[in-house]
């Protein structure tokens, strides 16, 4: 029974391969070629994760990346118009990503790596700006860092000991 539940969860998850790189290791006998795949996984309803898979063949690298991404999923606080609850900056090594709340009808204004994360998280209205490094892996991880830091108005109200209306005013 548990296996069927896991299979059902995997079926509803969508994935997006952000990048595939060919990497080489130079050894005494020559070069060993392998592949590295950066995969983003999400359910479109506020859960998203990213993983890196490495293998000798591309499909194996993608599968490993998908498995790693599923293990590293985070929850995202969304507001009623499918945007984020507040503006935030996420950081990972040299990359910074600014995520700005947007009104209904804006769409996803983001570059490739940040766009993949936002789409799979279920965000439909957002503006982003990548600051610093443009390395795809670091931008994806910085975006996920920002999304994981988001807090809903209910959480903020509970921390401050106020009502949700007082926090939003």
pTM listed for this prediction:
0.88
Asked whether residue 133 is assigned to any structural domain, the reply reads yes
Q: What is the pLDDT of residue 12?
A: 86
Number of domains the chain contains? 2
Asked whether residue 123 is assigned to any structural domain, the reply reads yes
Asked whether residue 165 is assigned to any structural domain, the reply reads no
Residues 39 and 52 in one domain: yes
Strand-strand pairing, 108-109 and 126-132: parallel
How would residue 156 be classed by pLDDT, with cut points 50, 70 and 90?
Answer: confident
Asked whether residue 46 is assigned to any structural domain, the reply reads yes
Residue 90 in this model has a pLDDT that exceeds 50: yes
End-to-end CA distance of the chain: 47
- E strand map for 5-155: 14-27, 30-42, 47-55, 74-75, 88-92, 95-101, 108-109, 126-132
Residues 47 and 34 in one domain: yes
Residues 81 and 150 in one domain: yes
Domain around 97:
76-159
Residue among 100, 124, 97, 125 at smallest CA distance from 111: 97
Coil vs helix vs strand at 98: strand
Q: What is the pLDDT of residue 169?
A: 74
**Rounded distance, CA 49 to CA 95, Å?**
17
Asked whether residue 68 is assigned to any structural domain, the reply reads yes
């Amino acid at each position: 029974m548990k296996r069927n539940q896991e299979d059902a969860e995997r079926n509803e998850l969508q994935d997006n391969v952000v990048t595939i790189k060919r990497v080489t290791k130079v050894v005494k006998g020559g070069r060993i070629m392998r592949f590295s795949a950066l995969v983003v996984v999400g359910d479109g309803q506020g859960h998203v994760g990213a993983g890196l898979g490495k293998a000798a063949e591309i499909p194996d690298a993608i599968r490993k990346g998908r498995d790693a991404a599923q293990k590293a999923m985070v929850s995202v606080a969304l507001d009623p118009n499918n945007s984020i609850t507040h503006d935030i900056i996420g950081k990972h090594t040299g990359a910074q990503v600014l995520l700005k709340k947007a009104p209904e009808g804006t769409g996803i204004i983001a570059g490739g790596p940040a766009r993949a994360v936002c789409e799979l998280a279920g965000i439909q209205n957002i503006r982003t700006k990548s600051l610093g490094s443009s390395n795809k892996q670091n931008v994806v991880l910085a975006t996920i860092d920002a999304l994981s830091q988001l807090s809903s108005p209910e959480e903020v109200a509970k921390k401050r000991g106020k009502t949700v209306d007082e926090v939003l005013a």
